[in-house]
Amino acid sequence: MYPKKDKKAEAARRAMQEAIDNHTADLAPVVDGRKVILEVTDVIRQYNQYDEVVTAVNRASFRVFMGEFVAIVGASGSGKSTLLHLCAGLDRPQAGSIVVRGHKLENMNEDELGKFRGSFLGMIFQSHHLIPHLTALENILVPTLMCGRDEISYDQHLKLLVASLDLADRLHHLPSELSGGQQQRVAIARALINRPQILFADEPTGNLDRANAEDVLQLLLDTRAEMGCALVMVTHDLSIAARADRVFKMEGGRLRLWNNRLDGILPGYEGGEESYE
């Protein structure tokens, strides 16, 4: 028999686990035989700048299936990063709903959202957002603090990531001691360490030369294949967008489907390395 106070502690632990399970259970709906990992409906995000209201995202709606590669293109300032941050639960919309794995992000408080994000979502930021006083290795491991999985599985996964991103001899350096490309690769490892179900990538190849950009893209595509996660990538590079399953275009905060791979090549894109804009 447990003493009475241990029973209480056990009940509290169970209640906490139940609360976590409620927020993490897989409730993703299935449409046309495919699991919907992300459903965005009529999302609006406005900023107040002086006397002006900027509508960065204007009633955006789209759906992403598990395992899909979706690209988002659009001119600078059209709202791509804002939309990605909303989808990744890093910002809240004024209107509309964002549902991940069947869970409405708006129903979660900051604490729940933080854990949910850490468990299921990965984000590669347009500017890397590495923590300057932490080493590359410590930066990569930051998301693991949010969800306590066993260290052995992290260890193997970490080794693979470090090897494929060619970071082995840079792990104990600070971000300021790394090149732009190396910082980007650390940011990618950080986004992948928790094996996310959706990986959001905001121009992940924007600061890389062609050879490095191709390596990073291949890594993201391989990761998607291996983990079965969805990849939602903002890019200006049409040769990358052309490889996505579907391409959306953002114009003045409005999002529309631009191309479905089954329909043929992208409008106006004839191959080669030309970039959007």
Ligand X SMILES: Nc1ncnc2c1ncn2[C@@H]1O[C@H](COP(=O)(O)OP(=O)(O)OP(=O)(O)O)[C@@H](O)[C@H]1O
Write out the residues near ligand X by the rule CB under 6 A.
47, 49, 54, 56, 74, 76-82, 126
Q: How do strand 230-234 and strand 69-74 relate by DSSP bridges?
A: parallel
The binder of 156, among ligand X, Mg ion, none, by C-beta within 5 to 8 A per type, is: none
* Distance in Å, CB of 253 to ligand X, minimum: 7
* Distance in Å, CB of 78 to Mg ion, minimum: 9
Dihedral over Cα of 57, 60, 66, 68: its sign: negative
* Distance in Å, CB of 61 to ligand X, minimum: 17
- Would you give the distance in Å from CA 216 to the centre of its chain? 15
Task: Count interface residues toward Mg ion (CB under 5 A).
Answer: 2
CA distance 260 to 243: 10
- Residue number with CB closer to ligand X (52 or 209): 52
- Residue number with CB closer to ligand X (153 or 275): 275
Residues between 119 and 158 that touch Mg ion (CB under 5 A): 126
The binder of 76, among Mg ion, ligand X, none, by C-beta within 5 to 8 A per type, is: ligand X
End-to-end CA distance of the chain: 71
- Tell whether residue 205 is a contact of Mg ion (CB under 5 A): no
| C-beta separation of 69 from 243 below 8 A | yes
Of 72, 4, 75, 86, residue with least CA distance to 44: 86
| C-beta separation of 59 from 44 below 8 A | yes
CA distance 73 to 259: 11
* Distance in Å, CB of 126 to Mg ion, minimum: 5
The binder of 176, among Mg ion, ligand X, none, by C-beta within 5 to 8 A per type, is: none
CA distance 202 to 178: 20
* Distance in Å, CB of 104 to ligand X, minimum: 23
| C-beta separation of 211 from 217 below 8 A | no
* Distance in Å, CB of 200 to ligand X, minimum: 12
Q: Which helix (H) or strand (E) element contains residue 251?
A: strand 246-251
The binder of 79, among ligand X, Mg ion, none, by C-beta within 5 to 8 A per type, is: ligand X
CA distance 72 to 235: 6
- Tell whether residue 81 is a contact of Mg ion (CB under 5 A): yes
The binder of 56, among Mg ion, ligand X, none, by C-beta within 5 to 8 A per type, is: ligand X
* Distance in Å, CB of 202 to Mg ion, minimum: 6
- Residue number with CB closer to ligand X (115 or 236): 236
The binder of 74, among Mg ion, ligand X, none, by C-beta within 5 to 8 A per type, is: ligand X
CA distance 39 to 61: 8
- Residue number with CB closer to ligand X (82 or 259): 82
CA distance 88 to 120: 10
- Residues binding Mg ion (CB under 5 A): 81, 126
